[in-house]
Amino acid sequence: MTTERREPAPDLDERAMLEGWLEYHRRTLAWKCEGLTDEQLRTAAVAPSNLSLLGLVRHMADVERSWYRRVLAAEDAAPLHYSDEDPDGEFRLTASDTWQEAHATWQAEIAAARRNAAGVPLDEPTRGRHLRTGERYTLRWIHTHMIEEYARHNGHADLIRERLDGATGE
């Protein structure tokens, strides 16, 4: 399977542009993980870091869940991989953590994000509030933040992938 990515057209309206770039970055992370074994996907970037491609996918599943379910839609959606006691739990992998499960969970959270964002005006305050700050946001802010979040972590993914097998690319 080859993940296809396309940059959004330069003449799109704001919503289509934001959603296009978000989708582009979601697909970039999937592309960086493509064709690797579970062992490679769980390989940490460099000691002492436990940052891995599998951990990044688990992290992004939780980030999608937090912003689009809890903040945007005010759903009662507990974290998947971390807790107050273990705030970096998504990066602490066990022998039972697999790509198949992590990828399926991530894709389910992306699908929920798309459903929850559909039809919501970009500038309408969210129904939920951020757990730490108590603030309400707008869908515009959330989409922009998610593009930044994916772009930053895709840079990490690019370096990890190059270390694993020499593959590079934007």
Encoded tokens for 47: 């000691």
Which tens digit of pLDDT belongs to each residue from 65-84?
Answer: 999 999 999 999 999 999 98
In terms of C-beta density within 10 A (0-12 exposed, 13-18 middle, 19 or more buried), how is residue 57 classed? buried
Percent of residues, the chain, with pLDDT higher than 90: 88
Look up the CATH number of the domain holding residue 96: 1.20.120.450
Predicted confidence at residue 65, as pLDDT, reads 97
Identify whether 117 is part of a domain.
yes
Which tens digit of pLDDT belongs to each residue from 24-49?
Answer: 999 999 999 999 999 999 999 888 89
Domain membership of residue 160 as a residue range: 14-165
Q: What is the pTM of this model?
A: 0.95
Identify whether 2 is part of a domain.
no
Average pLDDT, rounded, for the chain? 94
Contact 128, 74 (CB under 8 A): yes
**How many domains, the chain?**
1
* 5 contact partners, CB below 8 Å, separation of at least 6: 24, 27, 28, 31
